[in-house]
C-alpha cells in the first residue's frame, strides 16, 4: 500500500473510533451497548495503530529511517487495549477506566492534535499551507484545483 492508501485506511478507522470513544466517555457504562461499542472501539483503535506503523514519520527525527515520535502513540494503543479489555473481563473497573481514559486522551486527543502540526499531511490538507506534500500529492492536487 502506498502512503495515500494507508492515510485513507487510517482515517477510515480513526474517525469512527473518535466518534465511538467520545460517545462512550459521556454515556452510561456497563450496559450491553457499552460492551458492544467498546469491542468495536478497541478493534478500530488496534487497526489504526497497526496501519500507522506502516506510515513513515514525516516530521522530526526518525528511528530506523521510519519511526518517529508519533509512533509512540501506536505503542500506547497496543498496551492500553489489551490491558483495558482484560481488566473489564476480570471486573477490575478502576483499571479498565484508567486504560480507556488513557487510550482516549493519549491515542485520540493528544496524537490527533499532533497530526495538525505544521509539516504534517493533515495540517496541509486542512489549512492548505502547502500545495504539495513530499509523500502525497493527491489531496494537494484537489486543493490546488479548487483554489
Is residue 128 domain-resident? no
Instruction: Look at the block and give the residue holding cell 471486573.
Output: 91
Range of the domain at 15: 3-115
Residue 110 is predicted with a pLDDT of 94
- Of 76, 131, 117, which is closest to residue 100 (Cα–Cα)? 76
Q: Is 82 among the domain residues? A: yes
Does residue 47 lie in a domain region? yes
Residue keyed to cell 506503523: 53
Question: Cα-atom radius of gyration of the chain, to the nearest Å?
Answer: 17
List the alpha helices (DSSP H) in 27-110. Answer: 32-53, 72-90, 93-102
Number of domains in the chain: 1
Is residue 44 one of the residues assigned to a domain? yes
Burial of 92 (0-12, 13-18, 19+ CB in 10 A): middle
26 is a domain residue: yes
What pLDDT does 119 receive?
Answer: 79
pTM above 0.75, yes or no: yes
Tell whether 102 is covered by a domain.
yes
CB neighbours of 30 closer than 8 A, spacing ≥ 6? Answer: none
Q: Partners of 63 in the beta sheet?
A: 67
Does residue 99 fall inside a structural domain? yes
Q: What pLDDT is stored for residue 145 in this prediction?
A: 41
Please report whether residue 138 resides in a domain: no
- Give, for all 147 residues of the chain, the pLDDT tens digit: 898 899 999 999 999 999 999 999 999 999 999 999 999 999 999 999 999 999 998 888 889 989 999 899 999 999 999 999 999 999 999 999 999 999 999 999 999 888 888 878 888 888 886 555 555 444 444 433 443
pLDDT of 147 reads 38
Amino acid at each position: 500500500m502506498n502512503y495515500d492508501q494507508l492515510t485513507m485506511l487510517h482515517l477510515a478507522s480513526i474517525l469512527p473510533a473518535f466518534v465511538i470513544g467520545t460517545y462512550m466517555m459521556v454515556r452510561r457504562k456497563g450496559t450491553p451497548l457499552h460492551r458492544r461499542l467498546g469491542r468495536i472501539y478497541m478493534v478500530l483503535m488496534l487497526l489504526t495503530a497497526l496501519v500507522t506503523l506502516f506510515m513513515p514519520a514525516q516530521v522530526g527525527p526518525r528511528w530506523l529511517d521510519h519511526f518517529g515520535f508519533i509512533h509512540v502513540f501506536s505503542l500506547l494503543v497496543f498496551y492500553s487495549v489489551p490491558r483495558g479489555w482484560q481488566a473489564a473481563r476480570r471486573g477490575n473497573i478502576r483499571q479498565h477506566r484508567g486504560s480507556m481514559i488513557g487510550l482516549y486522551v493519549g491515542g485520540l486527543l493528544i496524537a490527533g492534535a499532533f497530526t495538525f502540526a505544521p509539516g504534517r499531511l493533515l495540517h496541509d490538507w486542512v489549512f492548505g499551507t502547502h500545495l504539495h506534500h513530499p509523500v502525497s500529492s493527491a489531496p494537494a492536487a484537489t486543493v490546488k484545483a479548487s483554489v
